[in-house]
C-alpha cells in the first residue's frame, strides 16, 4: 500500500522514520509543504485550506492512506480531512490520538504533561483528547516556542537547550507521570528533556502514531520504497532533514501542488 505522510515541513520526518521501522512493507510518499511553512502561526481556516490542498495532491498521486504528521494540521484539519477522505475509503491518521493513548497507558495515576508549540497548546487538542477519555486527569500544558528553532539548527545538546528546557519545564519536575512530546521536532531533544524531567516517561507521538498505523494496516508486504517531495527549497530539506533521519532524505524533488482554495467558501 502507498501511504502519504504529510507535514508542513521537516518535523514529520520523525514520523516517517518511525513508520519505516513499524511498517517496512508499505511505500511511503512524504510531502513537506515547505512553501507554506510554518503552519503553527497561521489561522485555523488557513491550516484547513492548506491541509486539504496537500491531501488532494497526495490522493491524486495514488496514496491509499494518509498520515498527518503535523500537530497543527492534526489539531485544526483532521475532521475536514477525514470527511473528505472517508468518501474515498482512505483512512486518515493524526498524531494526537496515538500520543494520548500512549500517555494513558504509561500513566501511573498522576498528571500528564503536554509539551508543544504555542499553536498546538492554544489549539488544545491534546488537552481535549485527554479530557474526553478521563476528565479527572490533571494536565499541564506547556508551550515551548524555542524548541523547534533549536532542533532545526541542530542545537539539541549542551548548555543552551538545557537552560531553555529548564526555563520552560523546571517547575514541572516531579509533578507529571508522563510528558507527551506534542511536536514532531521534540524527539530530537529527548536527552535534554530526560535530564530536566527525571522520572517522567516521555511519550514520542511519532512512534505512537506509527504503532497505530501498524495496528490498522499491518506491516505491509511490498518493497517499502520511500520518496520525498517538497513545495520549496530542496536543499534546505536535505540539510535539515538529515538531522531528523540520521541520513540524507533521498530522492527529494520539488513539486508545485497548486494554490489552496480561497479562504471563504461561498454558501
26 touching a second copy, by CB under 8 A: no
Burial of 135 by CB count in 10 Å (0-12 exposed, 13-18 middle, 19+ buried)? exposed
Distant-in-sequence, close-in-space partners of 171: CB < 8 Å, separation ≥ 6: none
Decide if residue 170 touches a second copy (CB under 8 A).
no
Q: Which long-range contacts (CB under 8 A, 24 or more apart) does 38-41 make?
A: 38/8, 38/9, 38/72, 38/148, 39/8, 39/70, 39/72, 39/73, 39/119, 40/8, 40/72, 40/117, 40/118, 40/119, 40/120, 40/148, 41/119
Active site (annotated) includes residue 70 = yes
Give the integer Cα–Cα distance in Å for 263 and 57.
18
Q: Shortest gap between Cβ of 37 and a second copy (angstroms)?
A: 8
Q: Minimum distance from CB of 153 to a second copy (Å)? A: 5
∠ Cα 8 118 124 (to 5°): 90
Which residue lies nearer to a second copy by CB, 105 or 163? 163
| CB of 87 or CB of 253, closer to a second copy | 253
Beta carbon of residue 7, minimum distance to a second copy (angstroms, whole number): 15
Query: Does the footprint of a second copy cover residue 261 (CB under 8 A)?
Result: no
| Least spacing, CB of residue 187 vs a second copy, in Å | 19
Binding pattern for the stretch 29-68 against a second copy, x by CB under 8 A and - elsewhere: -----xxxxx--xxx--x----------------------
Residue with cell 485527554: 130
The smaller minimum CB distance to a second copy, of residues 62 and 258, is found at 258
Q: Show the binding pattern over residues 125-164: x = contacts a second copy (CB under 8 A), - = does not.
A: --------------------xx-xxx-xx-x---xx--xx
Cα-Cα-Cα-Cα dihedral of 181, 97, 79, 182, to 10°?
0
Using DSSP, state whether 229 is helix, strand or coil: strand
Among 233, 242, 243, 255, binds a second copy (CB under 8 A): 233
The catalytic position among 58, 139, 183, 206 is: 183
Q: How many residues bind a second copy (CB under 8 A)?
A: 29
Paired with 227 in beta bridges are 29
Residues that bind a second copy (CB under 8 A): 34-38, 41-43, 46, 145-146, 148-150, 152-153, 155, 159-160, 163-164, 167, 232-233, 236, 256, 259, 262-263
Question: Catalytic site residues?
Answer: 70, 183
Amino acid at each position: 500500500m502507498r501511504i502519504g505522510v504529510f507535514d508542513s515541513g521537516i518535523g514529520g520526518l520523525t514520523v516517517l522514520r518511525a513508520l519505516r521501522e513499524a511498517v517496512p512493507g508499505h511505500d511511503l510518499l512524504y510531502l513537506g509543504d515547505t512553501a507554506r511553512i510554518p503552519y503553527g502561526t497561521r489561522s485555523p481556516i488557513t491550516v484547513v485550506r492548506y491541509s486539504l490542498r496537500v491531501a488532494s495532491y497526495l490522493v491524486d498521486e495514488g496514496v491509499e492512506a494518509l498520515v498527518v504528521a503535523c500537530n497543527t494540521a492534526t489539531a485544526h484539519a483532521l475532521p475536514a480531512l477525514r470527511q473528505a477522505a472517508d468518501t474515498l475509503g482512505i483512512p486518515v491518521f493524526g498524531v494526537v490520538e496515538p500520543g494520548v493513548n500512549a500517555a494513558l497507558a504509561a500513566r501511573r495515576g498522576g498528571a500528564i504533561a503536554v509539551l508543544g508549540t504555542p499553536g498546538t497548546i492554544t489549539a488544545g487538542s491534546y488537552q481535549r483528547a485527554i479530557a474526553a477519555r478521563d476528565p479527572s486527569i490533571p494536565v499541564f500544558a506547556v508551550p515551548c516556542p524555542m524548541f523547534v528553532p533549536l532542533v532545526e539548527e541542530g542545537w539539541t545538546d549542551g548548555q543552551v537547550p538545557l537552560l531553555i528546557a529548564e526555563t520552560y519545564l523546571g517547575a514541572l519536575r516531579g509533578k507529571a507521570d508522563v510528558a507527551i512530546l506534542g511536536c514532531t521536532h521534540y524527539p530530537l531533544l529527548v536527552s535534554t528533556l530526560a535530564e530536566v524531567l527525571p522520572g517522567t516517561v516521555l511519550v514520542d507521538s511519532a512512534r505512537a502514531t506509527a504503532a497505530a498505523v501498524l495496528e490498522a494496516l499491518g506491516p505491509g508486504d511490498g518493497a517499502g520504497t520511500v520518496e520525498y517531495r517538497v513545495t520549496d527549497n530542496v536543499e534546505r530539506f536535505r540539510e535539515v532533514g538529515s538531522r531528523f533521519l540520521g541520513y540524507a532524505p533521498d530522492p527529494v524533488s520539488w513539486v508545485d501542488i497548486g494554490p489552496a482554495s480561497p479562504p471563504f467558501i461561498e454558501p
